[in-house]
Amino acid sequence: MSMALETESRKLPLHDEHLRKGARMGDFGGWLVPLFYTSIVDEHTAVRCKAGLFDISHMGELLVEGPGALNFLEKNLPRRVAPVKLYQAIYMPLVNDRGGMVDDIIVYRMAESRFLIIVNAGNIEKDFQWFKSRAPDGVTVTNISESMGLLALQGPLSREILAEAFGAYYRDLKRFYYLDFEGGIIARTGYTGEDGYEIMVPMHKLKAIWDVLFRVGGKKGLVPVGFGARDTLRLEAAMPLYGHELNDTLTPLEAGLEWALDLSKDQFPGSKVLKAQKREGLSQKRIGFEMIDRGIPRQDCEVRKDGRLVGKVTSGSFIPTTGKSIGMAYVEACEAGVGNVLEVMIRDRAAKAAIVSLPFYKRKV
Amino acid sequence: MDFPENLRYTKTHEWIAVQGNKGKVGVTSYAQQEISDVVFVELPKKDQAVQQAKTAAVVESVKAAFDIYAPMSGKVTNTNKALEANPGLINQSPYGDGWLFEIELANAGEVNALMTAQQYRDTVQQAPKH
């Protein structure tokens, strides 16, 4: 068996706490993060059936503010920001001039002219420079990633746990809304396909919030969840991950994110490319597939149709709760129909897979 | 962690039980812990030739695939079919029901390149802790 060597990774603010809880640590984009505490299988199941708490403090936070902030974002983001109300948030890709994706982000309106943007850990510097280099006078962009910690409470019991921990006030938040909390926010958002909340607080308060949630949630079945299950949960919910389904050359249309764009908007970086692509049709599309033959698909596996290369896997895994092996891939648009049977090349062997509709998992409301 | 005295070990965390010109192969208890929940196993075919220190099987967790190297060269005579339905046997019983395959040894002298239980225990204890 071969194993990767330890690399020099940054530690999370709750690193010692993760070790105390028995975490197996591993690298994720330059961060030393908990891969799992007990097992990916148990943690995946806990989030689907009860509740799980994730430390996602590696993620980045940018503040865009100043008199021209709204106008600046309207000009540079692919989705209208003006209709986003105070205490509301909106998801979208960040698009470059070529129509590719710089990142995917959530924009929170904190005040008339003040916006919080949560970005992917691996893209903090890139996104910061992207906003900063475009910001006109009167708009400041600040990277507050170092001072903010982020927890995600996810699962069907998260609403009850949150209310007991911090008061009923937070319970009835609508999805993609947030409330002020301890110098940060609690938002009803997540990356698991379950109901849940993301809690951003100043770093020095993170441990206390983590402890309160376990004190209240522990007896209800709340468990700490590592990045292993975070990946299987988001994959099952068909949520794209930067570096897998999203990158600087793929477009949001190819990624199936047209719902997160306002193509009717005047102009934004990449808008011409995207409008043309929409008019002319896509050459490739993101799809989801389920393995028919035995085998676990992984990123970069070739996808073939009758032996002809038609695409590439971007994410794949065995899903513990269903026992199925699933994946997402980009394939030629003409082969992207649901039900189409393709071959995924796993270690030089063609294993049959069928395209299925996304998401793989949808929670019962 | 348990490393039976009657087995020989590789640096890459496989074990082999040599008996005459036969060898039974599996992964160590250290390996199964590092891999975590095994959810898929790909075994060599019967009669397939395997070569010392070359990939002979693949063991996968939810997260990743791990190549398993043959501790010694030879021809595969038998594989553990129970693993197809129950790959978790590798975690539960890495030296027992979780064995991977048996080979007819091509060169019994290759065993001299392998570690004893004591030597393997020493290398594992020196491995970086997470």
User: What integer pLDDT is reported at residue A320 of this predicted model?
Assistant: 84
User: Which residues of chain A does B37 touch, with a Cβ-Cβ cutoff of 8 Å?
Assistant: 39-41, 320
Average pLDDT, chain A: 96
Q: CA A34 from chain center: how many Å?
A: 17
Domain boundaries, chain A: 1-237, 258-356
Residue B99 included in any domain:
yes
Cβ(A295)–Cβ(A289) under 8 Å? no
User: What integer pLDDT is reported at residue B129 of this predicted model?
Assistant: 53
Q: Give chain B's radius of gyration (CA, Å).
A: 14
CA distance A239 to A237: 5
Cβ(A185)–Cβ(A85) under 8 Å? no
Question: Of the candidates A1, A25, A40, which has its C-beta nearest B63's C-beta?
Answer: A40
User: What integer pLDDT is reported at residue A85 of this predicted model?
Assistant: 97
Q: Calculate mean pLDDT across residues B99-128.
A: 94
Which residue, A278, A285, A292, A276, is CA-closest to A310?
A: A285
The length of chain B is 130
The percent of residues above 90 in pLDDT, for chain A, comes to 93
Residue B112 included in any domain:
yes
Residue B3 included in any domain:
no
CA distance A350 to A295: 10
CATH class belonging to A1-237:
alpha beta
User: Which residues of chain A does B35 touch, with a Cβ-Cβ cutoff of 8 Å?
Assistant: 1
Residue B115 included in any domain:
yes
CB contact under 8 A, B37 and A41: yes
For an interface test with A, which of B34, B37, B66 has the most A Cβ atoms less than 10 Å from its Cβ?
B37
First-last CA distance in chain A: 44
User: Which residues of chain A does B68 touch, with a Cβ-Cβ cutoff of 8 Å?
Assistant: 1
Pick the CATH number of A258-356 from 2.40.50.1020, 1.10.3720.10, 3.40.630.30, 2.40.30.110: 2.40.30.110
How sure is the predictor about B105, in pLDDT bands with cuts at 50, 70 and 90?
Answer: very high
For an interface test with B, which of A1, A9, A11, A36 has the most B Cβ atoms less than 10 Å from its Cβ?
A1
User: What integer pLDDT is reported at residue A5 of this predicted model?
Assistant: 52
Residue B1 included in any domain:
no
What amino acid is encoded at A174 in this protein? K
ipTM value, please give it.
Answer: 0.88
* DSSP line for B25-48: EEE-HHHHHHH-SEEEEEPPPTT-
Residue B2 included in any domain:
no
Output the domain CATH number for residue B29: 2.40.50.100
* Structure tokens belonging to residue A363: 């929670």
Q: Model's pTM, two decimal places? A: 0.93
Question: Of the candidates A24, A228, A347, which has its C-beta nearest B62's C-beta?
Answer: A228
**Domain range enclosing B39:** 8-126
User: What integer pLDDT is reported at residue A119 of this predicted model?
Assistant: 98
Residue B103 included in any domain:
yes
Query: Can you name the residues that pair with B40 across neighbouring β-strands?
Result: B60
User: What integer pLDDT is reported at residue A3 of this predicted model?
Assistant: 60
- Per the structure, the count of domains in chain B is 1
How sure is the predictor about A7, in pLDDT bands with cuts at 50, 70 and 90?
Answer: low
User: Which residues of chain A does B83 touch, with a Cβ-Cβ cutoff of 8 Å?
Assistant: none
Number of H helices, E strands in chain A: 8, 20
Chain B: residue whose CA lies nearest to A25: B130
User: What integer pLDDT is reported at residue A2 of this predicted model?
Assistant: 65
